[in-house]
């Protein structure tokens, strides 16, 4: 195939794929969200692409609880540093009541070992920002993950106004 034809087909594929997603699946954080919640999500998004670092909480390296701890501490919200202790913070909420800035906790072999920040919620998806050992800081939908979805232990709201 010629270069032009390959280029044309690639553009066509991108246009087709972008038309397959609806805006309701990928909403941006609404402006009527509590300002602290909005800022927490924006700060978490600023960390996207940072590398994973065990015990790290800044300088473009984070572990999961280090990411959460560092962002919340900017807003003088005190949280324990470890995921295991952090899970007792705030109040439990139902998945249907999640808001941006809430936390989702996960277990592995009956031990709570991972935490993520809710970045956006739509009718069908709950988007999370978290630091994973394999990819670093990413934003992914919980419902699309065969790895994370079955490991959810609890949803917690930390921000109370």
Whole-number percent of the chain with pLDDT over 90: 70
Which residues have CB under 8 Å from 100's CB, separation 6+? 29, 33, 37, 38, 40, 41, 118, 119, 120, 121
Give mean pLDDT, residues 111-121. Answer: 96
**CATH architecture designation of domain 34-157:** Alpha-Beta Complex (3.90)
pLDDT tens, position by position, 119-146: 999 989 999 999 999 999 999 999 999 9
Spell out the domain ranges in the chain. 34-157
- Res 21 pLDDT > 90: no
What is the reported pLDDT for 32? 63
pLDDT of residue 62: 92
Is the Cα torsion angle 24, 28, 33, 34 positive or negative in sign?
positive
Q: Is the pTM of this model over 0.85?
A: no
pLDDT at residue 1 above 70?
no
- What is the rounded average pLDDT for all residues in the chain? 83
Q: Which of 16-20, 55-59, 85-89, 143-147 has the lowest mean pLDDT?
A: 16-20
Tokens coding 159 = 């921000």
Task: Name the residue among 76, 69, 71, 67 with its Cα closest to residue 136.
Answer: 67
Q: How confident is the model at residue 160 (pLDDT cuts 50, 70, 90)?
A: confident
Q: Which residue has the higher pLDDT, 15 or 148?
A: 148
Main-chain dihedrals φ then ψ at residue 81, nearest 5 degrees:
-80, -30
pLDDT of residue 95: 94
């Amino acid at each position: 195939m010629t270069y032009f034809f390959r280029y044309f087909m690639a553009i066509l594929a991108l246009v087709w794929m972008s038309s397959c997603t609806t805006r309701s699946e990928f909403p941006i954080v609404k402006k009527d969200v509590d300002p602290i919640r909005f800022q927490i999500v924006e700060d978490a998004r600023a960390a996207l692409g940072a590398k994973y670092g065990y015990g790290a909480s800044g300088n473009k390296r984070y572990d999961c609880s280090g990411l959460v701890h560092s962002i919340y501490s900017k807003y003088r919200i005190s949280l324990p540093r470890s995921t295991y202790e952090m899970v007792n913070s705030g109040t439990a909420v139902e998945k249907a009541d999640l808001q941006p800035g809430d936390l989702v906790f996960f277990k592995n072999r009956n031990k709570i070992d991972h935490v993520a920040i809710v970045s956006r919620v739509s009718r069908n998806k709950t988007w999370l920002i978290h630091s994973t050992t394999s990819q670093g800081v990413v934003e992914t939908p919980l419902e699309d993950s065969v790895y994370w979805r079955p490991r959810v232990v609890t949803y917690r709201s930390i921000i109370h106004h």
